[in-house]
Amino acid sequence: MSRFERKILFAIGLSVFLALGGSIFLAQGALRDVYAVGVNERFGAELVHGVEARRGQLMALRSASDQVADAVQWAVEAELTKNRKRSTLDGLLVELLERYDIVTSIRVIDEAEKVLASASRAPDPLGEEVRTTTRERESDPGTGRLRIAVEVSVPEVYFERLQEAGEVADVYSRLQRQGASVSDVYAWVFGVLAFLVILVAFLIGAIVSRRVTRRVTDLAEASRKVGAGDLTVALPTGARDEIAELTQAFNEMVRDLRDSRTRIEYLQRIGAWQDFARRLAHEIKNPLTPIQLAAQEMDETYTGEDTTYQKKLAHARAIIEEEVATLRRLVGEFSAFAKLPEADLSPSDLCELIHSIEDSVPAVLEDVGHGTAAPIEVRLSCGTEPIAVRMDPMMLKRGVDNILRNAIQAVYEAHPKGGGRVLVRAYESEGVGFVEIRDNGPGIDEENWERVFDPYYTTKAEGTGLGLAIVKKVVLEHGGEVRLDRAPEGGARFSIELPLMEPR
């Protein structure tokens, strides 16, 4: 992982985990406050009071049942003391039942366990569940010892409600006791879940950011390679974003650097070859005249009678003079190559260049056809609008002439009886001015497309291999490029590209 990636991940992690820590802190405080609203001492006290009230109600009922039992005892004793008749007790018991709601039955039992009188309430038609207990009282009203059993009942729901209230108050008091920790539990569960979510988000963020950081680190690595001299580096631009634009700009910069370096290297090589040509021309040119003069002198000053020898001398002189003439021509071309001036650029129109070439076409055709015009169709074209470039018209014309002459020669050799075509046209496209020379000749093998621009490389018997080298040098000095490929007609296509002048 690069330092850049680590920094990006650190920044992401810092921001998300700070947010997490802050949210847990705030959530904890908020939860405590919310919890305190719902679970507080006041509510707890009220619940306890509720339980106490229900308990008090039951205790009061119990006390009431004792008091009712006492009252029944006193009433029975009073009745027996007054009337001394047990037969009147039944009516009294019915009256007592009507008086006391909680009493369900009353029995008066003597010492022999004989029920002397009894009364009971009819069962509740609704069948409400009740809890029943019997309060017994001993009595001796003077007619013998009696036992008075008073059965009282209260609805079971009173007891159930007490239990329910007790359970709620119990849980509530537990919640109250655990108040702080409950809100902490919520905060921590929230925190842990949020942490897991953020962890997943962080991992996704890391993966996504890695795609970005990788492109940046790739750029850094590519820059290091370029710095070390490797200009073949090219990076994929990928998505449409600022990094893609940066990558594209980087690729363009590397391509420009590569082109510039190629241009400089080529011009340096041409310069070296020019220097070599200059020395060669100088070294060859000087002895040519003495060689020629010596051969002439040997031939002219021979006074002997040997005619055979004289013929040999004359033949040798002719060969020497012919080869010296050839060497002079080579020396002339070498010398011209060596003295090739640098291009003097000025604003010009490519169409005018095409028109000026048009004038020299008949002479070239005649030269190639050895006195008669070669049967080649040469077409030159240019648009109606001028194509403004900065160029040295004379030097560029010389270059285009060179290519045109080569094309006409090649087409003539392939189609000596006619049918050969050469097209020269100028046009502009995407900020570049083009001069295209193409033909329907035999073309050039693809493996030689780069080599043809090297000095002294030629496929012609009488060629010096300097023509296309001069063309390339001239075009490079114009800040342009010359390329060779296959023409649609099957022959060769030379394309000279020149930067258009910026519109003012």
Q: How far apart are CA 500 and CA 496, in angstroms?
A: 12
Q: Which of 30, 175, 206, 291 binds another protein (CB under 8 A)?
A: 175
Question: Could you tell me where the beta strands, DSSP code E, fall in 402-469?
Answer: 420-429, 432-439
- Which residues in the 91-150 window bind another protein by CB under 8 A? 131, 133
List the structure tokens of 389: 């470039």
Torsions phi, psi of 429, nearest 5? Answer: -155, 130
Q: Which amino acid would we find at residue 345?
A: L
Pairing mode of beta strands 130-139, 146-155: antiparallel
- Amino acid (1-letter code) at residue 439: D
Q: Is 340 helix (H, G, I), strand (E, B) or coil?
A: coil
Q: Which is nearer to another protein, 174 or 339 (CB)?
A: 174
Torsion angle defined by CA atoms of residues 199, 205, 207 and 210, in that order, rounded to the nearest 10 degrees: -130
Contact residue for another protein among 11, 14, 26, 59 (CB under 8 A)? 59
Counting contacts by CB under 8 A, is residue 167 touching another protein? yes
- Closer residue to another protein (CB): 17 or 190: 190
Closer to another protein by Cβ: residue 43 or 186: 186
Per CB under 8 A, 162 contacts another protein: yes
Q: Which of 189, 234, 293, 325 binds another protein (CB under 8 A)?
A: 189
Our finding on whether 208 is near another protein (CB under 8 A) is: no
Q: Which two tokens stand for residue 136?
A: 């017994």
Residue 347 tokens, joined: 């604003």
Q: Is 423 in the site for another protein (CB under 8 A)?
A: no
Binding of residue 157 to another protein (CB under 8 A) = no
Interface segment toward another protein; rule CB under 8 A; list 79-87, 166-174, 276-284, 403-411: 166-174
Instruction: Looking at residues 244 to 303 of the shown chain, list those that interact with another protein (rule: CB under 8 A).
Output: none
Question: Which region, judged by CB under 8 A, interacts with another protein, from 100-108, 162-170, 269-277, 374-382?
Answer: 162-170
Residues in the chain: 504
36, 115, 171, 336: which one binds another protein (CB under 8 A): 171
Q: Residue 480: which of 260, 190, 237 has the closest Cα?
A: 260
The residue from 7, 174, 312, 329 that contacts another protein (CB under 8 A) is 174
The order of strands in the sheet holding 432-439 is 376-382, 420-429, 432-439, 492-499, 481-486
Residue 186 binds to another protein (criterion: CB under 8 A): yes
DSSP string, 125-152: TT---EEEEEEEEEE-SSSS-EEEEEEE
Q: How far is CA 86 from CA 81, 95, 137, 399, in A?
A: 10, 15, 17, 157
* 32, 62, 86, 390: which one binds another protein (CB under 8 A): 62
Closer residue to another protein (CB): 167 or 300: 167
| CA separation for the pair 443, 493 (Å, rounded) | 8
Among 178, 209, 310, 495, binds another protein (CB under 8 A): 178
Smallest separation (angstroms) from another protein to the CB of 174: 5
| Site map 1..40 versus another protein, x via CB under 8 A | ----------------------------------------
Cα distance between residue 17 and residue 25, in whole Å: 12
Positions in the binding site for another protein (CB under 8 A): 51, 55, 58-59, 61-62, 131, 133, 154, 159, 162-163, 166-168, 170-171, 174-175, 178, 181-182, 185-186, 189-190, 193
